[in-house]
Amino acid sequence: MDLRAALAAHRLVAIVRGSDPEAALRTVLTLADEGIELIEVSLTTEDALTVIERARKALGPGRPLGAGTVLTADDARAVHRAGAGFAVTPCLGEGMSTARELGLPVLAGVMTPTEIIGARALGAEALKIFPAAQAGGPGYLKALRGPFPHEVFVPVGGVDEAAARAYLAAGATAVGIGSPLVGDAADGGGAAALRARARAFRTVVREATS
């Protein structure tokens, strides 16, 4: 898949992590049903590889489905076998390198300019500013865009609706959103609240894009 184009088109990555594999799968499918096109299942989710496998079968081969918290070479090989179409890392490391060797596009976790240069040298398609809130929020992103005006930045960490608006206005290509969107759905929480949050965040993205 063309990860850079997908991020530019959809501008939102939903991050699913939870303690209940069945609930995590339902969460992925509910988000997809609500029109969230880019979904990442974190490997910190209980039985994450099975969730990814089952989600891939349910969504079909054409729907973007990512695996997050890919730290090691074994992680990268496992998510590739499970059917992930892209990998997300919190940092640079062998998980990223092996994912690229396997042909998976990577959204690589970075914080500093040095890490940005390193990630691009290793073949990262896009750059996940993580943890974005602790790094300095939208102001930090705006500062990074000075020396790196053409990079695909995706802030992740503490991104609620207000922060999403601010990051997109500051030049983020997309935002990655975990608990402010997913809430407790992947732990067994209700689907109605998840659907409402998904619609609210889609509105944020639509307004930022228009």
**What is 50-80 written as a DSSP string?**
HHHHHHHHHH-TTS-EEEE---SHHHHHHHH
pLDDT value of residue 176: 98
- The C-alpha atoms of residue 49 and residue 55 are separated, in whole angstroms, by 10
User: In which band, very low, low, confident or very high, does the pLDDT at 210 lie, cut at 50, 70 and 90?
Assistant: confident
Structure tokens at 59: 């969504």
Q: What is the mean pLDDT of the chain?
A: 97
Please, what is the angle between helix 161-169 and helix 137-144, to 10°? 20
pLDDT tens track for 47-97: 999 999 999 999 999 899 999 999 999 999 999 999 999 999 999 999 999
- The C-alpha atoms of residue 15 and residue 42 are separated, in whole angstroms, by 7
pLDDT score of 183 more than 90: yes
SS3 category, 131: coil
pLDDT value of residue 194: 98
The mean pLDDT value for 22-34 works out to: 98
pLDDT score of 171 more than 90: yes
Q: Residue 43 half-sphere exposure, CB side, CA atoms within 13 Å?
A: 20
* Residue numbers annotated as active site: 40, 128
pLDDT tens track for 114-161: 999 999 999 999 999 999 999 999 999 999 999 999 999 999 999 999
- The C-alpha atoms of residue 151 and residue 110 are separated, in whole angstroms, by 12
pLDDT value of residue 147: 97
pTM exceeds 0.85, yes or no: yes
Give phi and psi for 174, each to the nearest 5: -155, 170
pLDDT value of residue 157: 96
pLDDT score of 7 more than 90: yes
SS3 category, 10: helix
- The C-alpha atoms of residue 200 and residue 87 are separated, in whole angstroms, by 26
